[in-house]
Amino acid sequence: MEKVVVTGLGVVSSIGIGVEKFFESLKQGKNGISRISLFDPSLHSVQIAGEVKDFNPEDYVDKKDVKRLDRVQQFAFAAAKGAIEDSGLLFEKENTERIGVYVTSGVGGIRSIEDQVKVYYDRGPDRVSPFLITQLIIDAIPAYIAIKYGLKGDTLAAVAACASSGKTIGEAFYAIQRGDLDVVIAGGADAAITPVGVAAFASMRALSKRNDAPEKASRPFDKNRDGFVMGEGASILILESLSHAKSRGAKIYAELAGYGTSVDAYHITAPDPSGKQVERSMLMALQKAGLTVNDVDYINAHGTSTPLNDKNETFAIKEVFGDRAYKIPVSSTKSMVGHLLGASSALESVATVLTINNGIIFPTTNYEEADPDCDLDYVPNVAREFNVKVALKNSFGFGGHNITLLYKKFED
Cross-strand pairs, 184: 100, 239
Residue 393 makes CB contacts below 8 A (sequence gap 6+) with 166, 299, 300, 345, 348, 349, 352, 404, 405, 406, 407
Q: 1: pLDDT confidence band, cut at 50, 70 and 90?
A: confident
Q: pLDDT, tens digit, for every residue of 11-48?
A: 999 999 999 999 999 999 999 999 999 999 999 999 99
Query: Which listed residue (244, 339, 374, 401) is catalytic?
Result: 339
Distance, CA of 33 to CA of 27 (rounded, Å): 17
Distance, CA of 279 to CA of 262 (rounded, Å): 9
Predicted local confidence at residue 137, as pLDDT = 97
Question: Average pLDDT in the 351-356 region?
Answer: 98
Which sign, positive or negative, has the C-alpha torsion 209, 213, 215, 218?
A: negative
Question: Average pLDDT in the 123-139 region?
Answer: 97
Instruction: Let me know if 244 is a catalytic residue.
Output: no
Question: Average pLDDT in the 305-332 region?
Answer: 98
Q: pLDDT, tens digit, for every residue of 134-167?
A: 999 999 999 999 999 999 999 999 999 999 999 9
Do the strands 360-361 and 384-385 form a parallel or antiparallel pair, or are they unpaired?
A: antiparallel
pLDDT over 90 at 400, yes or no: yes
Q: 170: pLDDT confidence band, cut at 50, 70 and 90?
A: very high
Query: Which listed residue (162, 244, 374, 401) is catalytic?
Result: 162
Same fold, 4-247 and 260-408: yes
Kindly report the CA angle at 54 between 52 and 59, in degrees rounded to 5? 105
Question: Average pLDDT in the 199-215 region?
Answer: 97
Q: 412: pLDDT confidence band, cut at 50, 70 and 90?
A: confident
Question: Average pLDDT in the 308-333 region?
Answer: 98
Instruction: Let me know if 302 is a catalytic residue.
Output: yes
Instruction: Let me know if 374 is a catalytic residue.
Output: no
Residue 322 makes CB contacts below 8 A (sequence gap 6+) with 293
pLDDT over 90, % of the chain: 99
**pTM flag (> 0.95):** yes
pLDDT over 70, % of the chain: 100
Q: 65: pLDDT confidence band, cut at 50, 70 and 90?
A: very high
Average confidence score pLDDT of the chain: 97
- 208 in helix, strand or coil? coil
Superfamily of domain 4-247: Thiolase/Chalcone synthase (3.40.47.10)
Q: pLDDT, tens digit, for every residue of 224-280?
A: 999 999 999 999 999 999 999 999 999 999 999 999 999 999 999 999 999 999 999
Please give the class, per CATH, of domain 260-408. Answer: alpha beta
Domain locations in the chain as residue ranges = 4-247, 260-408
Query: Which listed residue (244, 302, 374, 401) is catalytic?
Result: 302
* Under 8 Å between Cβ of 15 and 218: no
